[in-house]
Amino acid sequence: MADRITLEAHRRTAMTKGERNRIRAVGDIPGIVYGREQAPTPIYIKGESFKQLRNHGKVLVDIQLDGSGTISAMINEVERDMINRRPIHIDLHAVNLREPISVDVQLILDGLEAVEKRGAVIQQLLREVTVRCLPTQVPEYILHNISTLEVGENSTCGDLKLPQNVALEHDLTEVIAMAIEAKNPEPETEIEPKEPELVHDTEGKGKETKV
């Protein structure tokens, strides 16, 4: 797991749309932190502090709240503006660092080129897997090598290699990806140009006109 990042945060004093817009106007991000041992607390994260994050997935951070105390939390969801993709709201789940949690982790396939060279394409059925471990041991992602797959074969959760002390919460027979035969594109058929039709002059002048 990557080094933990500390986010500077402050409590929100009002719960109005106007306040949220004011927070966003100066580049900060409204949000909420909650958990089993943490009452839901409306906050906002300083925008410059949030820029430290390379990954906006479910990563563990320390929240420095009003400069007085630190809350360890997982980033549960980052809501983004549909047009400019800037973060507009953040949900954080406070955690106990000594208790295991279940969390979804991105699954990245490795070895695609090797499979494609053998005339197959990969259909990925799982893009995230649920794992259980201590908050400090949640991996940023899980890399899964599929380079040995042949056409008609598949890879299952039982093939995953997980970090130490990380348990998988899936049936081991669940399919992650399958190799299917690549279809050859059908050859394009050339359309022959049509010959112009001859139309007889209706005025009886004995001429033919091309149309």
CA–chain centroid gap for 38, Å, is 27
Sketch the domain layout of the chain as residue ranges. 5-94, 101-181
The strand ranges marked E within the chain are 5-11, 29-35, 38-45, 60-65, 69-80, 87-94, 101-110, 120-124, 128-133, 141-145, 154-156, 167-168, 175-181, 198-200, 208-210
Model pTM score? 0.74
The reported pLDDT for the residue numbered 203 is 53
Confidence of residue 67 (pLDDT cuts 50, 70, 90): confident
Confidence of residue 39 (pLDDT cuts 50, 70, 90): confident
Q: What is the 3-state secondary structure (H, E, C) of 51-93?
A: CCCCCCCCCEEEEEECCCEEEEEEEEEEEECCCCCCEEEEEEE
Quick one: average pLDDT of 3-13?
A: 88
pLDDT reading at 201 higher than 70: no
CATH for 101-181 (3.40.50.1820, 2.170.120.20, 3.40.462.40, 1.20.140.10): 2.170.120.20
pLDDT tens digits, 69-83 = 899 999 988 999 999
- Across all residues in the chain, what is the average pLDDT? 86
pLDDT tens digits, 89-106 = 999 999 999 999 999 999
The reported pLDDT for the residue numbered 191 is 62
- Strands 120-124, 175-181: pairing kind: antiparallel
What share of the chain has pLDDT > 70, as a percent?
83
Residue 210 and residue 197 in contact, taking contact as beta carbons nearer than 8 Å: yes
The encoded tokens of residue 12 equal: 């929100």
What share of the chain has pLDDT > 90, as a percent?
64
Q: Which CATH class is domain 5-94?
A: mainly beta
105 bridge partner residues: 129
137 DSSP assignment? G
The reported pLDDT for the residue numbered 147 is 95
The encoded tokens of residue 20 equal: 């949220």
